[in-house]
């Protein structure tokens, strides 16, 4: 459930602001709302430090060895050193590439240098270097002394002895590096040594990565402190701080305020105020939190907490989309060993995986699906668990399964409108939600007719008319009844079509689940259809089974993300009129 919040206003003497913020942070209850944009040199300084530290962390690789001998007072200095080391590394790598390119030049042309050519030039011998093709060689002047120094990939490396500096051949002339081969080798050795030393420094710095991360947490705390301090309002000698806290925590804040001499006002948040959302649920419902964290979605303060319904229906959708009891057992085994290996990890995710995997095992057992092998479900005990109407291997069951999906969709959407009706139980809006429930079920009967050619029950038309009447009359209770009816009537056609589409969209549960079974059967047939009559055929069959089922599991899990989450976050939530516009409750604390 979404916890009721109170708006808190604190008036504190300016000279006691720092100590008051320390007490407030110690309480860890108030989600502080800036009263103005926090601006200060201290904020800019800590933001720059955070940016530099994030850059350093990005540059450092992970290290199995973690040292703790770096003095806390020198962490900031060492962070700058990491950035400098990385810049030096990039410069050294660039210089090394240039030197290596020069080395390639000397391998092609030999130990030639500008100095040696200058000595020859002083003696009246002018040498120029060229590159040409075999065709170019045929066109060279016969009266010139030209030597072929080498040939690489059809290109000839030539040295021409000319009569003057101005004389040239009609070929691609090659520039000569400034240095010589001996000095180049020395530069290469020096550069490689410097690069190795720089890399050693970066490797050493990686051993302090844990301390850097801890330092990052300290920077964030400092930054938060200054943002709260400079986001407050200051009038003469008084500092005003505003925020939100759970209603049951007001007494604790009052107690501290009285002891510290603060003035405090607690009041209900205004209608249009952006209030942070805090959700509390029983521990068994809390296991759904990792899904919401993964999606990064938070309901608005005045919206609905759908954690319970999301958990229930997501488990059903997961089971139907994966649809294979064998896969469910495999998930349970993997989850068990992963939990044992990562004992310090958040346990909610493991309990959620156990629930989803268990639901998959139950659904797979009821439909007789075990790794896509029909014969496994025919074993004595397993055969007892199979429900004939939903048996995956009976083709005539498809119509029933589609109808079942429509039914699940109608129930799901009915719950959404039921939740809204309960919220507005003392308002005429509750009657409009009852009307939408009637429309949803009439759309369910129409979907059965249009998609499956089932007979439409006689109650369908009266149900639709009754529901539409309630929607038209009571959707806008704050307006006069005639004007409200016109507005509702204008919206009704598109919303009815949307409701029909939403009911039909639950067909994806059958389509994806059936596809999972079909793909498993196809790979089983591919691997075992011809039998196993040799070691090679056995190995190939095992390989096909492993890769085929691994691919099938991957596709099924992707379908869960695309379809299982969508049905809750889009279809269900849209009928709840949710926008997921919430901001997370993040109290100012240590």
Residue 382: give the domain boundaries: 283-575
Tokens at 439, concatenated: 């429309």
How far apart (Å, rounded) are the C-alpha atoms in residues 508 and 512?
6
pLDDT (0 to 100) of residue 60: 83
170 plus 287 within the same structural domain = no
How far apart (Å, rounded) are the C-alpha atoms in residues 505 and 516?
18
504 plus 375 within the same structural domain = yes
288 plus 167 within the same structural domain = no
| Residue 187 domain-assigned (yes or no) | no
Residue ending a domain, among 127, 153, 176, is 176
How far apart (Å, rounded) are the C-alpha atoms in residues 477 and 84?
67
Among 181, 200, 203, residue whose Cα is nearest residue 192:
200
190 pLDDT exceeds 70?
yes
Instruction: Give residue 243's pLDDT band: very low, low, confident or very high (50, 70, 90).
Output: very high
Which single residue is written with the structure tokens 């109650």?
A: 459
Phi and psi at 12, nearest 5°, equal: -130, 145
| Residue 530 domain-assigned (yes or no) | yes
Buried b (16+ CB within 10 A) or exposed e, 441-467: bbbbbbbbeeeeeeeeeeebeebbebb
pTM score of the predicted model = 0.78
Which single residue is written with the structure tokens 């240590």?
A: 590
Instruction: Give residue 206's pLDDT band: very low, low, confident or very high (50, 70, 90).
Output: confident
The tally of CA atoms less than 13 A away on the side-chain side of residue 144 is: 23
How far apart (Å, rounded) are the C-alpha atoms in residues 543 and 537?
10
Tell me the per-residue pLDDT of 34-73, one tens digit each, with 9 for 90 and over: 988 888 888 898 899 899 888 988 888 877 777 777 777 7
Q: Where are the beta strands (DSSP E) in 221-262?
A: 233-235, 238-246
Q: Does residue 117 contact residue 127 with C-beta atoms inside 8 Å?
A: yes
32 pLDDT exceeds 80?
yes
pLDDT (0 to 100) of residue 115: 66
How far apart (Å, rounded) are the C-alpha atoms in residues 187 and 100?
10
Tell me the per-residue pLDDT of 393-422, one tens digit each, with 9 for 90 and over: 888 889 999 999 999 999 999 999 999 999
Instruction: Give residue 321's pLDDT band: very low, low, confident or very high (50, 70, 90).
Output: very high
Residue ending a domain, among 176, 199, 225, is 176
| Residue 75 domain-assigned (yes or no) | no
Which single residue is written with the structure tokens 């099924």?
A: 556
- Mean pLDDT is lowest, of 172-186, 204-218, 543-557, for 172-186
387 plus 521 within the same structural domain = yes
How many domains does the chain fold into? 2
Per-residue pLDDT averaged across 538-565, rounded?
90
Among 518, 515, 512, residue whose Cα is nearest residue 559:
512
Mean pLDDT in the chain? 87
| Residue 218 domain-assigned (yes or no) | no
Tell me the per-residue pLDDT of 246-294, one tens digit each, with 9 for 90 and over: 999 999 999 998 888 889 999 999 888 899 999 999 989 999 998 988 8
164 plus 288 within the same structural domain = no
Give strand pairing partners of 266.
Answer: 8
| Residue 122 domain-assigned (yes or no) | yes
Residue ending a domain, among 125, 153, 176, is 176
Instruction: Give residue 532's pLDDT band: very low, low, confident or very high (50, 70, 90).
Output: confident
pLDDT (0 to 100) of residue 479: 63
Q: Does residue 6 contact residue 561 with C-beta atoms inside 8 Å?
A: no
Phi and psi at 158, nearest 5°, equal: -120, 145
| Residue 452 domain-assigned (yes or no) | yes
pLDDT (0 to 100) of residue 200: 87
Query: How many CB atoms neighbour CB 497 within 10 A?
Result: 11
pLDDT (0 to 100) of residue 334: 94
The end-to-end CA distance of the chain, in Å, is 26
- Residue 560, judged by CB atoms within 10 A of its CB (0-12, 13-18, 19+), counts as buried
| Residue 26 domain-assigned (yes or no) | no
307 plus 161 within the same structural domain = no
Buried b (16+ CB within 10 A) or exposed e, 290-326: bbbeeeeebbbbebbbbbebbbbbbbbbbbbbbbbbb
290 plus 154 within the same structural domain = no
Nearest-10 crossing angle of helices 460-474, 481-505: 130
| Residue 228 domain-assigned (yes or no) | no
Per-residue pLDDT averaged across 328-339, rounded?
94
154 plus 291 within the same structural domain = no
Per-residue pLDDT averaged across 443-468, rounded?
93
332 pLDDT exceeds 90?
yes
Which single residue is written with the structure tokens 């009721």?
A: 4
Tell me the per-residue pLDDT of 478-504, one tens digit each, with 9 for 90 and over: 667 778 788 888 888 999 999 999 999
């Amino acid at each position: 459930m979404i916890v009721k919040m109170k708006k808190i206003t604190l008036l504190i003497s300016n000279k006691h602001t720092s100590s008051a913020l320390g007490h407030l942070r110690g309480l860890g209850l108030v989600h502080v709302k800036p009263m103005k944009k926090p601006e200060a040199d201290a904020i800019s300084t800590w933001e720059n430090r955070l940016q530099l530290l994030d850059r350093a962390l990005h540059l450092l690789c992970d290290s199995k060895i973690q040292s703790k001998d770096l003095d806390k007072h020198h962490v900031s200095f060492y962070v700058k050193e990491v950035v400098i080391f990385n810049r030096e590394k990039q410069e050294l790598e660039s210089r090394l590439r240039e030197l290596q390119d020069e080395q390639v030049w000397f391998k092609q042309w030999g130990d030639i240098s500008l100095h040696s050519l200058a000595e020859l030039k002083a003696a009246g011998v002018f040498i120029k270097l060229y590159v040409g093709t075999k065709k170019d060689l045929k066109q060279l002047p016969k009266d010139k002394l030209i030597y072929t120094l080498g040939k690489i990939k059809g290109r000839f490396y030539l040295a021409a002895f000319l009569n003057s500096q101005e004389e040239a051949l009609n070929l691609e002339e090659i520039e000569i590096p400034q240095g010589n081969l001996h000095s180049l080798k020395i530069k290469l050795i020096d550069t490689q040594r410097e690069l190795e030393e720089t890399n050693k420094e970066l490797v050493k710095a990686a051993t302090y990565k844990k301390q850097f991360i801890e330092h990052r947490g300290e920077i964030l705390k400092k930054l938060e402190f200054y943002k709260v301090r400079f986001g407050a309002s200051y009038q003469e000698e008084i500092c005003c701080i505003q925020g939100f806290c759970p209603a049951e925590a007001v007494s604790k804040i009052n107690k501290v305020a009285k002891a510290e001499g603060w003035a405090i006002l607690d009041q209900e948040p205004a209608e249009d105020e952006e209030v942070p959302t805090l959700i509390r649920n029983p521990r068994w419902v809390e296991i759904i939190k990792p899904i919401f964290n993964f999606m990064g979605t938070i309901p608005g303060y005045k919206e609905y907490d759908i954690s319970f319904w999301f958990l229930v229906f997501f488990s059903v959708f997961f089971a139907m989309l994966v649809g294979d009891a064998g896969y469910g057992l495999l998930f349970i085994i993997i989850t068990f060993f992963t939990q044992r290996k990562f004992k310090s990890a958040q346990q909610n995710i493991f309990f959620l995986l156990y629930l989803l995997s268990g639901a998959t095992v139950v659904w797979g057992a009821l439909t007789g699906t075990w790794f896509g092998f029909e014969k496994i479900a025919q074993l004595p005990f397993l055969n007892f668990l199979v429900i004939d109407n939903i048996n995956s291997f009976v083709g005539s069951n498809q119509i029933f399964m589609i109808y079942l999906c429509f039914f699940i969709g109608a129930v799901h959407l009915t719950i959404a409108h039921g939740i809204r009706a309960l919220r507005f139980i003392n308002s005429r809006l509750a009657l409009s939600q009852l009307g939408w429930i009637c429309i949803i079920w009439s759309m369910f009967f129409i979907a059965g007719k249009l998609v499956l050619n089932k007979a439409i029950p006689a109650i369908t038309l009266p149900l639709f008319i009754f529901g539409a009447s309630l929607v038209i009359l009571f959707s806008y209770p704050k307006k006069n009844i005639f004007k409200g009816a016109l507005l509702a009537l204008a919206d009704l056609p598109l919303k009815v079509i949307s409701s029909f589409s939403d009911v039909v969209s639950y067909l994806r549960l059958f389509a994806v689940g059936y596809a999972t079974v079909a793909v498993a059967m196809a790979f089983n047939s591919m691997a075992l259809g011809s039998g196993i009559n040799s070691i090679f055929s056995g190995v190939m069959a095992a390989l096909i089974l492993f890769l085929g089922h691994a691919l099938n599991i991957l596709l099924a899990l992707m379908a869960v993300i695309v379809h299982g989450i969508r049905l809750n976050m889009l279809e269900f939530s849209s009928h709840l009129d949710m926008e997921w516009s919430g901001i997370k409750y993040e109290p100012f604390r240590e």
